[in-house]
């Protein structure tokens, strides 16, 4: 071991060594990163701000958007910095720290996707018992379990990497510090670390994939039993978004961590798929294919435009724009829009206003008529519909 030269930093090759291509890649990935942040932040704000989305499905979706922000922020800032710098270096401890949070975010997202699959199974196969099955305590337990599994998965794999000694070449043929790319640089035998990473990844797949496969097999069976084509399309639309995300994320991530590392360009493309592109597509997939999210987004945009951009519109503004000031039409509409005159205390005008304001009572199902000197109680034949109860709040 004394003949080896140990180093304190790694060199990340990135995606290309050409300066012109690196500039184009910087612009491309900067746009992707900004869109990822903006899309997921908007998704979180819409879910928190709209009471119609305070249900388990969007509770999980809000946490998925937060995980996508964390997942992309682990690698994208370092990648953007390396596109513009000549020395694309990162310290050994910085590389291990990046690997820790990368594995934590990826494993937590994989576990959360399996919880979302079970939520869709309960919504499609047991719609009458959905609110009882997917209650708030169960949702909190599922989300907490996803974070705990991600933490343990990352902690175990990164603790054992400290036993490795890196010497010789310090060049990583990748754009970030993933464990499979670090193993070839070790001058000690990394076989145990490779088996640990493959075994823990396989164990994670055995915990999450069977739940996803079971949920969607039951969902497909339930959809096929629906007689109307409209009902089938509605049921499938609630699950197609999540199924698309699962295929994009699981298909690439499992292939990357179960197969041996080779340092090829294909590995970098696959890593970009599940660490960058999936985080960008998640808010687009869930917003474009979900009518409730689009309706909530429209309500939020209309609220912002009416209260912060356009402001309240006065009625006389429309009158002034339609008719000249002083015309007969203007005076007629002005009398209609103007409030009733307020006379001095005790005058006939004030008494009429008081009678007008007290023409209704707080008694349920009754009206008070103010015509004549005697008040008559008139029973209303039809009760007003009860207010819709506010759904249970699933906050963050």
Identify whether the C-beta of residue 43 lies closer than 8 Å to the C-beta of residue 62. yes
What is the rounded distance in angstroms from the CA atom of residue 50 to the CA atom of residue 294?
A: 11
Per-position DSSP letters for 328-348, written without gaps between them:
HHHHHHHHHHSPPP-PPTTSH
* Residue 368 resides in a domain: no
Number of domains in the chain: 1
Q: What is the pLDDT of residues 307-325, one digit of tens each?
A: 665 555 444 444 444 445 5
The helix (H) or strand (E) run that includes residue 74 is helix 56-84
Which residue's structure tokens are 């609110």? 131
Q: What is the pLDDT of residues 94-122, one digit of tens each?
A: 888 999 999 999 899 989 989 988 988 88
DSSP letter (8 states) at residue 3: T
DSSP letter (8 states) at residue 260: P
Can you say how many angstroms the Cα of residue 35 is from the centroid of all Cα atoms in its chain?
13
What is the rounded distance in angstroms from the CA atom of residue 37 to the CA atom of residue 43?
A: 10
**Is beta strand 9-12 parallel, antiparallel or unpaired with respect to 376-379?**
unpaired
What is the rounded distance in angstroms from the CA atom of residue 256 to the CA atom of residue 45?
A: 33
Which 3 state secondary structure label does DSSP give 91? strand
Confidence (pLDDT) at 318:
42
Per-position DSSP letters for 128-186, written without gaps between them:
TTHHHHS-HHHHHHHHHHHHHHHHHHHHHHHHHGGG--BBS--EESSSS--HHHHGGGB
Which residue's structure tokens are 């660490």? 275
What is the rounded distance in angstroms from the CA atom of residue 53 to the CA atom of residue 318?
A: 36
Can you say how many angstroms the Cα of residue 175 is from the centroid of all Cα atoms in its chain?
26
Q: What is the pLDDT of residues 132-181, one digit of tens each?
A: 888 889 999 999 999 999 999 999 988 888 778 777 778 888 888 888 88
| CATH number of the domain that residue 118 is part of | 1.20.1070.10
Confidence (pLDDT) at 37:
94
Exposed, middle or buried by CB within 10 Å (0-12, 13-18, 19+), for 361? exposed
What is the rounded distance in angstroms from the CA atom of residue 233 to the CA atom of residue 394?
A: 28
What is the rounded distance in angstroms from the CA atom of residue 284 to the CA atom of residue 281?
A: 5
Which residue's structure tokens are 């009572």? 361
Q: Which two tokens stand for residue 191?
A: 């076989």
* Residue 334 resides in a domain: no
Exposed, middle or buried by CB within 10 Å (0-12, 13-18, 19+), for 390? exposed
Rg, Å, the chain Cα set: 31
* Residue 376 resides in a domain: no
* Residue 114 resides in a domain: yes
Spans of the chain below 50 pLDDT: 1-4, 313-323, 358-396
Which residue's structure tokens are 């009625």? 315
* Residue 209 resides in a domain: yes
Task: Please report, for residues 106, 138, 241, 260, 318, the alpha-carbon distance to residue 126 in angstroms, rounded to integers and kept in the order given.
Answer: 30, 16, 20, 42, 52
What is the rounded distance in angstroms from the CA atom of residue 164 to the CA atom of residue 35?
A: 38
Domain of 138? Answer: 9-305
* Residue 139 resides in a domain: yes
* Residue 3 resides in a domain: no
* Residue 316 resides in a domain: no
Q: Which two tokens stand for residue 53?
A: 């989305």
Phi, psi of 26 (to 5 degrees): -60, -45
């Amino acid at each position: 071991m004394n003949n080896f030269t140990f180093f304190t930093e790694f060199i990340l090759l990135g995606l290309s060594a050409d300066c012109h291509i690196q500039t184009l890649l910087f612009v491309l990935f900067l746009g992707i990163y900004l869109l990822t942040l903006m899309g997921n932040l908007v998704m979180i704000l819409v879910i928190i701000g709209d009471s119609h989305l305070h249900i388990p499905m969007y509770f999980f979706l809000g946490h998925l958007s937060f995980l996508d922000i964390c997942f992309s922020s682990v690698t994208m800032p370092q990648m953007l910095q390396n596109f513009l710098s000549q020395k694309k270096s990162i310290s050994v401890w910085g590389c291990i720290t990046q690997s820790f949070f990368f594995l934590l975010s990826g494993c937590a997202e994989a576990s959360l996707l399996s919880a979302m699959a079970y939520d869709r199974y309960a919504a499609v196969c047991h719609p009458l018992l959905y609110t009882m099955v997917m209650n708030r305590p169960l949702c909190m337990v599922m989300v907490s379990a996803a974070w705990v599994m991600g933490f343990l998965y990352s902690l175990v794999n990164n603790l054992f990497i400290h036993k490795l000694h890196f010497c010789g070449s310090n060049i990583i043929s990748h754009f970030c510090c993933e464990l499979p790319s670090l193993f070839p640089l070790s001058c000690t035998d990394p076989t145990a670390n490779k088996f640990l990473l493959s075994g823990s990844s396989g164990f994670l797949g055995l915990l999450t994939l069977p739940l996803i496969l079971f949920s969607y097999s039951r969902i497909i069976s339930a959809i096929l039993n629906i007689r109307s084509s409209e009902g089938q399309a509605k049921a499938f639309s609630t699950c197609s978004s999540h199924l698309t995300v699962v295929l994009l994320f699981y298909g690439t991530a499992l292939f990357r961590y179960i197969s041996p590392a080779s340092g090829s360009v294909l590995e970098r493309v696959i890593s970009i798929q599940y660490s960058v592109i999936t985080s960008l597509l998640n808010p687009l997939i869930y917003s474009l294919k979900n009518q409730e999210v689009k309706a909530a987004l429209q309500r939020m945009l209309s609220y912002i435009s009416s209260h912060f951009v356009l402001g309240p519109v006065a009625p006389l503004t429309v009158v002034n724009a339609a008719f000249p000031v002083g015309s007969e039409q203007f005076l007629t509409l002005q009398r209609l829009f103007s409030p009733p005159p307020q006379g001095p205390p005790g005058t006939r005008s004030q008494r009429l206003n008081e009678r007008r304001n007290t023409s209704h009572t707080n008694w349920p199902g009754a009206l008070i008529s103010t015509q004549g000197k005697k008040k008559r109680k008139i029973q209303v034949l039809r009760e007003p519909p009860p207010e819709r109860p506010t759904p249970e709040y699933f906050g963050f």
